[in-house]
Structure 1
């Protein structure tokens, strides 16, 4: 892959959040950073063997492109669980896969490289969430639990909320064994008899959790991209055998 370390960070802004002034939401690609192979080039994840200096510079570039100071970012070391953190101040946290806040000038962020990022915004209560949903988190219904936590914590009504389900491994690429497949609803998996394996649709499974909690179908946007099929533009942990970088999905409200 051609290096692009001199270019600006590349990211995608969800259309569904377009109507809301002051809301900054984006999903990075792998382009526009300083990291070299195999983390080329906009590696935003510290849990790699990339140099800390590269990761710091990439984060500075990415958030600068969004007009966000890095000092306002809230992240957590993710553990593929279902723990949810109510964020009161920016910083680095430990052990949470979902972050929620109703504070302005806090930019929530989750790292991804095949797992499903989900961003949620309630324009009535001005509350938001950033969720990392791998297959374990999806089975554990982290998305549903996050919406319910926003409801309990901030008084959010799911019908008022908007959501973006971001770029992750696609249903044609996420091959799993029976022990994983049996934990998913039949609607969200398909068996390939030739391979003797199931293929799971993480986007559909997490979308269903949003619908089950009361979000309106027309207020949910799905990324059309795949970390595997579109690997030239996105990092894929599985496709690149673990030697790859991380993207970020982020959401925050500027005061």
Structure 2
């Protein structure tokens, strides 16, 4: 990726000219340190005017307007917002739409964003999966909802597991690790801690649903290891900006 771009476009979606799909970076905005510079999080202590300008710059760079966005105040749960129009809800961690011109959006700062496109029915989904949402099955629930509501079939889906905190940085105690299957965690004897792989844990339900491996992509980037390009809530001890992941048809 260009280290100064306002967003990263997942290669898996680049073949679909009708699609807008991206995750924001921390570049190209107007916020001052420690929110420098493209902080898109309204719940931070950043200057609200700076956040508004950042949003304008980000959406303009994608060729869309904030008034096209469908999102929700996220609660690390498994509730899903199904909509055919823009707007902001409360208490959902996934957004699904089949309406052209409506952009499904989630906010992240270490949690995993997952974007899904059903190329046949032209349904899109944006999912926010922290560790709680991951173990509660937010990805599988979203895919099942797409199937029940729109007739989505696995072979028609393309999915991206986005930039989040990587396994080597996500050190947790047993209060968290006990919720994860062995294949998604690693015991570190020297640290006496587990390390959890959120990317693998969220790719697994995509594979289990039946989406071909060739149609699933996992971000090579990390909010911690590539902190110069992405915000990390954990690394920056909570005093940092927020990113978004967005997907929708033009």
TM-score bracket, normalised by the shorter chain, equals over 0.9
**Structure 1 residue matching 2:40: 3-state secondary structure:** coil
Are 2:204 and 1:214 aligned?
A: no
Query: Aligned equivalents of 2:200 and 2:96: distance in 1?
Result: 22
What residue number does 1:192 align with?
188
> Secondary structure of the residue that 2:71 maps to in structure 1?
strand
C-alpha separation in 2, matches of 1:37 and 1:128: 34
Aligned position for 2:114: 118
CA-based RMSD of the aligned residues comes to: 1.2
- SS at structure 1 position matched to 2:132: helix
Q: Within the alignment, does 1:134 sit opposite 2:93 as a pair?
A: no
Distance 2:94 2:28 in 1: 27
**For 1:56 and 1:91, how far apart are their aligned partners in 2?**
16
Contact between 1:9 and 1:62, CA under 8 Å: does it hold in 2?
no
* 2:153 equivalent in structure 1: 157
Match of 1:179 in 2: 175
Is the 2:172–2:193 contact (alpha carbons within 8 Å) kept by the matching residues of 1?
yes
Unaligned runs of 5+ in 2: none
Matched residue SS, 1:62: helix
Structure 1: state its 5+ residue gaps: 1-7
Residue pair 1:29, 1:234 contacting (<8 A) in 2 also: yes
SS of aligned partner of 1:162:
strand
Matched, 1:96 2:92: yes
Are residues 1:58 and 2:33 paired?
no
In 2: Cα distance, 1:45 partner to 1:64 partner: 17
State the alpha-carbon separation in 2 of the partners of residues 86 and 48 from structure 1: 27
Partner of 2:24: 28
Q: Is the 8 A contact 2:72 2:81 kept in 1?
A: no
Structure 1's consecutive aligned runs of 4 or more residues displaced over 6 angstroms after TM superposition are none
* 1:195 CA displacement: 1.0
Deviation, structure 1 residue 223: 0.6
Number of matched pairs: 248
- What is aligned with 2:105? 109
Superposed displacement of residue 9, structure 1:
5.3
1:164-192 Cα distance to aligned partner (Å, 9 max, x none): 11000000000010121011010000000
- Which residue number in structure 2 is paired with residue 249 of structure 1? 245
**Deviation at 1:88?**
2.0
Q: Distance in 1 between matches of 2:79 and 2:223?
A: 25
